[in-house]
Amino acid sequence: MAVPQNPSPGGCGQRIALVNGSFEAPVVTNFEIRPDASHNDPRAVPGWRTTASDGQIELWHTGFQNVPSDDGQQFAELNANMVSTLYQDLPTTPGTKLYWRLSHRGRQGADTMALQIGPPNAPVEQAQMTDGNTAWGHYTGEYVVPAGQTTTRFAFKSISAAGGNPAIGNFLDGIVFGTAPCVVLTKAAIPEGEVKVGDVITYRVNAKNEGGSPADNLVLTDDIPAGTSYVPGSLRVIDGPNSGGKSDAAGDDQAYADAGHVVFRLGQGATAQQGGRLASTADAPNGTTVEFRVRVERAGAGREIENQARATYDNTLGKAPEHLTSTSNATSTPVKRLVELAVVKAADRIKAAVGEAVTFHVAVTNKGPNDSAGVTVTDRLPEGLTFISATATAGTYDPATGLWDVGAMAVGTTRTLTLLAKVTKPGPLTNTATATATAGEADGPVTDEVVVCAHPQAPCPPQGGGCGRGGGCGGC
């Protein structure tokens, strides 16, 4: 049974997140000093501002002077041309819990900086970080916005740097500050309208992190709906991290189908063992999108094929990992009813003389898989047979038109019609019965026939030949 989408689009509350937290923009070669975000300059560093009097920020590319980045391809040096503070001011709602994470490293030795959070005119020191130049140090914490504080400054202040050069020291990377991750799943079924048995449905699921912090260990799961079968090789990550048309058929072990469901391990750094990290929509506005396909089987005929995706992910920025879940909207695809009819026509004799009566039997069966709203059988007597009487286990028969209106038929039921007719002329007399279900229920009508060899009242001479089902009357 489908459950409500949770959270719904726009249902994550105010998203609070830094812009350009890992200093990936603008792209630089080796290192460059660029204007901060206060400058109306296409070369400016998005999001970040500095208290330095020259308004400049220094960015490094990973590997320059053998210093690797800790997140992405770039990082910043807090001491650009002078000792200063690097910051962003964010609109905030009092009472909101915010999470922060950062990576810090010394340049020429042990460097120290302070993290400040609070009102722009008086941010409060939260902690000091001291790290050498051989490895990145990692730090996390929480902050609750105080009453009345609708703008919050998140800032880094240089305290000291090895070597004493005010233009050298305190590398920064992987900066996160904002609300908890909040993954919203939106699902579509293609085509949107009615399908039939044998058709393929494509399910496409988009995951967006509308929170302010990254969602870690993101894993999306989706059941193969009842009445369908998975189309092998159809799992694809079509947009977002690790995309590019990857599929299970191509050996993409981040996605697999097994035991009635499909699983996608999503996000940056996802592997065959665990999900990766999905950035917030501040940095990844389109999130990530996946798809898979199912084929409608006979068991799905006449049903609504329902499907709903779910995801698990972690908020790893707090004091302990917080395990979170999301569910997508439910999709419902109607499948055309399918009725498979069988009709059998027989006669109590296949040879008869003119003037004799022949009894015909017609049996129509609904082989399913759905009940039929109405069945008709056309059985009009050919020239050479004159109607005498008719009896039916259901419905009515009109001898003028040859139409037997059987009516509704449940799966597995059989209805019979018995016709008594008089032979009025010699020759092969073919009697045909054609069964048809209500429009749209079956692929087409089904037919059966029987041939009666009628001969004159006088016996046939020995050389007259034989009569039989589907044959002629020889010389009769």
Distances (CA, A) of 402 to 341, 358, 390: 19, 16, 11
| Torsion, Cα of 375, 381, 382, 386 (10° steps) | -170
Pick the closest to residue 125 from 133, 113, 117 (CA basis): 117
- Which range is least confidently modeled, 166-175, 252-261, 305-314, 462-471? 462-471
To 5 degrees, how large is the angle CA 415–CA 417–CA 421?
170
Pick the closest to residue 219 from 313, 335, 333, 114 (CA basis): 313
State pLDDT tens for residues 361-372.
Answer: 999 999 999 999
Which residue's structure tokens are 């912090």?
A: 213
Q: Mean pLDDT over residues 286-305, rounded?
A: 96
Residue 460 pLDDT > 90, yes or no?
Answer: no
Query: CB-hemisphere CA count at 13 Å for 317?
Result: 26
pLDDT at 152: 98
Can you give the three-state secondary structure of 78-94, one letter per residue? CCCCCCCEEEEEEECCC
Q: Which CATH class is domain 339-464?
A: mainly beta
pLDDT at 469: 42
Domain ranges of the chain: 31-178, 183-334, 339-464
pLDDT band at 438 (very low <50, low <70, confident <90, very high): very high
Instruction: State the pTM of this model.
Output: 0.80
Taking a C-beta distance cutoff of 8 angstroms, is the pair 209, 278 a contact? yes
SS3 content of the chain, % helix, strand, coil (to 5): 0, 50, 50
- The answer as to CATH 3.30.450.40 being correct for domain 183-334 is no
Domains 183-334 and 339-464 share a fold: yes
- How many Cβ atoms sit within 10 Å of the Cβ of residue 134? 8
Superfamily of domain 31-178 in the CATH hierarchy? Galactose-binding domain-like (2.60.120.260)
- pLDDT: which is higher, 81 or 466: 81
State pLDDT tens for residues 65-113.
Answer: 999 999 999 999 999 999 999 999 999 999 999 999 999 999 999 999 9
State pLDDT tens for residues 347-402.
Answer: 999 999 999 999 999 999 999 999 999 999 999 999 999 999 999 999 999 999 99
Pick the closest to residue 158 from 148, 149, 167, 145 (CA basis): 167
State pLDDT tens for residues 5-43.
Answer: 999 999 999 899 999 999 999 999 999 999 999 999 999
Q: 351 burial class (0-12, 13-18, 19+ CB within 10 angstroms)?
A: middle
To 5 degrees, how large is the angle CA 326–CA 329–CA 331?
140
